[in-house]
Amino acid sequence: MDNSILNEYYLIIKNKISSESFMSALSSIDKLISNFPNNSKGYYYKGVCNFALEKYDEALRAYIKSISLDITNAKAYFNLGVTFYILNKYDDALINIAKALIIFSKTKELDCKKRCAEALNFIQTERKSFN
């Protein structure tokens, strides 16, 4: 399969996520993954959908798989960190968001870098309030 088919999958999936049709998006993602089993973005989108559906353990697995296929996927690290935060696993949250910050720092995605820094500060403050 070529990149045009892959891009078509991405467009369909993004549209379904944008319209909050997460179950339908997951169906499309499963088709994408069956055709492109080593596609990091597919697993990233699977994590996004599962997170939105509050299936946090499934989101964790999807983000971890996405990262295993592309260790430069900063968005997957960030979302993994946020998922860990939701599960009150602050150390894991901080580690993964810090990894995302490092990767974003090497890009021109300044808004993402800023969001990572803000999230790190917020989680560190929150963690201190529980100790």
Domain range summary for the chain, segments of one domain joined by +: 1-70, 74-131
- Name the pLDDT band for 99 (thresholds 50, 70, 90): very high
Q: What is the three-class DSSP state of 20?
A: coil
What's the rounded Cα separation, in Å, for the pair 84 and 57? 9
Q: What is the pLDDT of residue 89?
A: 95
Q: What is the pLDDT of residue 51?
A: 98
Q: What is the mean pLDDT of residues 52-72?
A: 98
**CATH ID of 1-70, from 1.20.1290.10, 1.25.40.10, 3.40.50.720, 1.10.10.10:** 1.25.40.10
At the top level of CATH, which class does the domain 74-131 belong to? Answer: mainly alpha
Q: What is the three-class DSSP state of 32?
A: helix
| Angle (nearest 5°) at CA 111 between 120 and 5 | 110
Type of residue at 88: N
Does 1 have pLDDT greater than 70?
no
Taking the complete model, does pTM exceed 0.75, yes or no? yes
Q: Specify whether the CB–CB gap between 16 and 24 falls below 8 A.
A: yes
